[in-house]
Amino acid sequence: MAIALVFVGTLLALVFAWLIAPEPGELARALVRSALLAAVALAATLTLGPGAWRASTPLAPAPRWLALAPLAGLLSFAVSVGYVRLVEHLAGTEPPPLAPDALPVLLLAWALLPALAEEWLCRGVLWTASLRALSPSATLLLTSALFAILHGLNGADVLEYPHRFAAGLVFGFLRLRSASLLPGMLAHACHNALAILTE
């Protein structure tokens, strides 16, 4: 039930965010999207029963995983940039610019809030629900697939899936090895912040 709720809720959240703010770079879309994804994660957590909150929000990693998280964020960012630049070169296109908001607002709306909401949704709630039915490896693949899909449906196209899936694998590996959400959240926030700062 929780897995279905995560997938259907994610789709509905992305459609609703698009209806509110149709342009991909709009600040309103980023804020609404993060809030709706967090609401989906909360609703799915409630369907998992007693102990689900604690299971979906493990926050005590070994310090080495927190130290490795920024490097993992840099790695996923480098893979994404290389892939995107190759696709842009082959297609002869350029990415749409982000909204011209103040840097702290951009970092909050496009780096921190998405990292918190998406990691809790994918590698918190969906991870917890999936482990009840699947192996850790299958859980890693499923959560990475949702991560790719939720970005592909957010104004990008099918060509976005491979590098988003790769980032999901990196963040999921951190979740798997550290048994915590924090390293993946930190890596994800670093990845997003680098994307904003290099835009």
| pLDDT for residue 156 is more than 60 | no
Residues 6+ apart with CB under 8 A from 66: 182, 183, 186
Amino acid (one-letter) located at 172: G
Mean pLDDT within 68-78? 96
- Decide: 110 and 97 in contact? Cβ < 8 Å: no
Amino acid (one-letter) located at 66: L
- Residue 101 pLDDT level (bands cut at 50, 70, 90): low
Mean pLDDT within 70-74? 97
| pLDDT for residue 103 is more than 90 | no
- Decide: 35 and 74 in contact? Cβ < 8 Å: no
Residue 65, classified by CB atoms within 10 Å of its CB into exposed (0-12), middle (13-18) or buried (19+), is: buried
User: Residue 15's pLDDT is what?
Assistant: 87
- Residue 6 pLDDT level (bands cut at 50, 70, 90): very high
**Residue 61 in tokens:** 């990693």
Q: Read off the DSSP letter of residue 158.
A: G
Task: Identify the CA nearest to 73 among candidates 65, 63, 85.
Answer: 65
Q: What is the pLDDT of residues 33-54, one digit of tens each?
A: 999 999 999 999 999 999 999 9
pTM metric for this prediction: 0.91
| pLDDT for residue 98 is more than 80 | no
Q: How far apart are CA 177 and CA 168, in angstroms?
A: 14
Amino acid (one-letter) located at 79: V
Q: What is the pLDDT of residues 123-140, one digit of tens each?
A: 999 999 999 999 999 999
Q: How far apart are CA 171 and CA 166, in angstroms?
A: 9
To the nearest whole number, what is the mean pLDDT of the chain? Answer: 90
Q: What is the pLDDT of residues 53-69, one digit of tens each?
A: 999 999 989 899 999 99
| pLDDT for residue 97 is more than 80 | no
Residues 6+ apart with CB under 8 A from 123: 143, 171, 172, 175, 181, 184
Amino acid (one-letter) located at 191: H
User: Residue 181's pLDDT is what?
Assistant: 96
What ranges do the domains of the chain cover? 2-197
